[in-house]
Amino acid sequence: MATDAPWQAIALRKQAQRQSRIPSAWLLKTPPLTSTLDVRFIPGTSGILDSHELFITENYDATSLADAIRSHQLTAEEVTIAFCKRAAIAQQVCNCLTEIFFDKAIERARLLDKEYERTGKTLGPLHGVPVSLKDSFNVVGFDSSIGIASLTGKPAKENALLVDILLEQGAVLYCKTNIPQTLMALDSDNNVFGRVLNPRNKLATAGGSSGGEGALVAMRGSVLGVGTDVGGSIRIPAMCGGLYGIKPSAERIPYVGQENGSRKGASNIGLPASAGPIAVSLRDCELFLKTVSDARPWERDPSLAYGLWSEQGSIERQPLLGVIRQDGVITPLPPVSKALDETVKSLRNSGLEVIEIDAPAFKKCQSLANKFFGIDGGNHMFDLLEATKEPLTTWLSTRLRRGTPISLDRLVDIHAQKVELETEMLKVWRDPRTGRQIDAFICPVAPHPVPPIDRWNGVSYTSSFVLLDYPAGTLPVRDFSEEDLNCVLSNSKPLGSWDKINRELWDEKTVDRRIYLNTTLSVQVVAPKLQERRLYQAMSLIDSILQMKSIGRAKL
């Protein structure tokens, strides 16, 4: 008889453990039909949350929750219970969680309430606010397995620094969220926990690698989650869920104390990842970034740059925005260009100056970024997989293999190329006509709408700003409409192989365009390096104009 590989038994145990941590009273009596594609309504019809808990989870963002707890309108305990219940439902319909610690969260919330009652002081800006975390963050007593069987059963002995800071500032941590195997895919699927589903449309991707975080927030099982991004892994799930997400510069938010399946120190010679928020409101992104920055994390992490929130750049005059319409590698599909055009038009109609940016160096970013990925040949990750005879998932099986680690001479060479490209790209921040500094520019998050599962095509619009270390964020524009289905694809010659594959996502012979309905069209906003506050201000300005336009459409 054939013997199952060790990873299979490990996966079954891990899934059973996860299921056991959901209270029986919070289990759905009737799971949704497979044919039910939009599952966001299920918390409201499940009977698991009472009317007050539904109101809490559907009508507050993290900022207003903090205000309501501070003003004694809500208690940390009732807020935490409500979001734990909703996260439990999200897990059952979207498979978005990995580690569950609802009981510890509720216990902490009770202690926070008692301390607030005793002292009259909140612990910090996040006092009583439930915050979810990507699986990679170490939390004492729980695995950071990142969906790898050989990393299970090894609970963390220390918290990641960011986890400690969030706790010090009053946050209630209650779960960790699902990711793709190896953290190197744009669809969150792994052999230990399975695939994350997009709650807006289960046939569309939830994105990756912070896909579970995006799905949980889209289900409002969380209103403020923390992800990481080394190629688009915050911005892409935010786009897939119609959410807000910000990737800071790498030197801004603590990243230490994580499991990412690579050797310690590897990120110091490759492209460093960033940690940042995925949220239901833009002001919650500011709440997170300000709270962490003002906790002075550079005093505990030598890799971080000094900078209180008030010192991270600002727009102090009439804003000057730019627009980059394509990267020269993959031409955006018609609905993506249309959403970008609408955004630029709305900004100009509101009186803002938006100039067209010609950035020929943008075309060079993706190919250079690719040289940094897998500089160790992926051997450490393959060692982890082979320890339990775990195979690659189907999507990764044709894309990853062991390789030879890059030579020192080659590593030095690509770092020299990076410095040269960074210098060349500095030109985009000046208006060539007037010399004025451009505060931020907008561009696509991706060259296509939210695609079907396992069909994300390239990350050139997101990984480029990891290479350059620019802070960048996803901003929802509007939902994809029936009218968008009629957009016509240009018959011009494809720019290359990536562009050719991208066009297949609009070719009715290879995709049913109706899959894009009920997804969101978004834009990306980018600011200069270490200018996170300037990025937030630009995003806030753009968002307020788009929100006014949305209100105008609703009145018609």
DSSP 140: B
Positions at the binding site: 183, 209, 230-233
Long-range contact set of residues 397-403: C-beta below 8 Å, sequence gap at least 24: 400/182, 400/184, 402/377, 402/378, 403/374, 403/377, 403/378, 403/379
Catalytic residue of the set 85, 134, 371, 418: 134
- Residue 374, pLDDT score: 81
Q: Which of 150, 209, 262, 463 is catalytic?
A: 209
pLDDT of residue 537: 98
CB-based contact 238:214 (threshold 8 Å):
yes
Helix H, strand E, coil C: the string for 4-36 is CCHHHHHHHHHHHHHHHCCCHHHCCCCCCCCCC
Structure confidence at residue 554 (pLDDT): 59
Residue 76 has pLDDT above 90, yes or no: yes
- As a whole number, mean pLDDT of residues 529-539 equals 98
Tokens of 40: 């966001």
Is 540 an active-site residue? no
Nearest to 177 by CA among 255, 243, 99: 99
Residues 207-223 have pLDDT tens digits of 999 999 999 999 999 99
Q: State how far the Cα of 445 lies from the Cα of 234, in Å rounded to an integer.
A: 11
List of domains in the chain: 6-32+45-260+271-555 (3.90.1300.10)
Q: Which of 144, 222, 233, 460 is catalytic?
A: 233
- Rounded mean pLDDT of the chain? 96
Instruction: Name the pLDDT band for 264 (thresholds 50, 70, 90).
Output: confident
Query: According to the 3-state scheme, what is the secondary structure of 379-413?
Result: HHHHHHHHCCCCCCCHHHHCCCCCCCCCCHHHHHH
In the residue annotation, 233 being an active-site residue is answered as yes
pLDDT digits (tens, 9 = 90+) for 295-339: 999 999 999 999 999 999 999 889 999 999 999 999 999 999 999
With a cut of 50, say whether residue 32 has pLDDT above it: yes
Question: Sorting pLDDT into bands at 50, 70 and 90, what band is 3?
Answer: low
Closest alpha carbon to 430 in 322, 274, 336:
322
CA distance 245 to 224: 10
Q: What does the pLDDT read at residue 1? A: 39
User: Residues within the annotated binding site for substrate?
Assistant: 183, 209, 230-233
pLDDT tens across 46-72, in order? Answer: 999 999 999 999 999 999 999 999 999
Strand order in the sheet with 130-134: 97-100, 172-177, 130-134, 224-229, 274-279, 244-247, 472-479, 520-526, 440-443, 320-323, 353-356
- On the question of pLDDT at 202 being above 60, the answer is yes
Segment 342-390, tens digit of pLDDT? 999 999 999 999 999 999 999 999 999 999 988 989 999 999 999 999 9
Residue 20: active-site member: no
CB 355 within 8 A of CB 323: yes
Two tokens, residue 366? 């993706």
C-alpha to C-alpha distance for 251 and 273, rounded to whole angstroms? 9
